[in-house]
Amino acid sequence: MSNAQDVTDDNFQAEVLESDTPVLVDFWAPWCGPCRAMAPAVDALAEEMAGKLKVVKHNTQDSPATPTNLGIMAIPTMVVFKGGQEVGRHTGMMSVDDLRGLVGPHV
């Protein structure tokens, strides 16, 4: 079972921007092969960093407004938020070690 929770356009503000904990947002879609391939690494990071980092998944197909507003042009895209501000971003496949490197400075 994943520690990563799903977020939508409706709850992005409350769950991500207003979070007291740094947040990694996985922008993905069901039809995206690389997104599906990355899911185990994202889930592993969510479990490993529980309590220090909130990991959420945002389905760009079902909730397109937030990724459009953030200028997300391709998926998978991982975005780190801290204090309501974007502090890191990577587009493309990442290993769990790469994910640790992206979030490490912010937790």
**Strand 23-28 relative to strand 5-7: parallel, antiparallel, unpaired?**
unpaired
> What are 91's strand-pairing partners?
77
CATH no., domain 5-106: 3.40.30.10
- Domain ranges in the chain are 5-106
Average pLDDT, the chain: 96
Q: How far apart are CA 24 and CA 16, in angstroms?
A: 9
Q: How far apart are CA 31 and CA 51, in angstroms?
A: 31
Q: Is the pTM of this model over 0.85?
A: yes
Class of residue 4 by CB neighbours under 10 A (exposed 0-12, middle 13-18, buried 19+): buried
- Looking only at Cα atoms, what is the longest distance across the chain? 32
Q: How far apart are CA 15 and CA 1, in angstroms?
A: 20
Residues labelled catalytic = 32, 35
Q: How far apart are CA 93 and CA 38, in angstroms?
A: 7
pLDDT at 86: 98
For the stretch 91-107, pLDDT in tens is: 999 999 999 999 999 99
For the stretch 41-89, pLDDT in tens is: 999 999 999 999 999 999 999 999 999 999 999 999 999 999 999 999 9
Q: What confidence category does residue 3 fall into, taking pLDDT thresholds of 50, 70 and 90?
A: confident
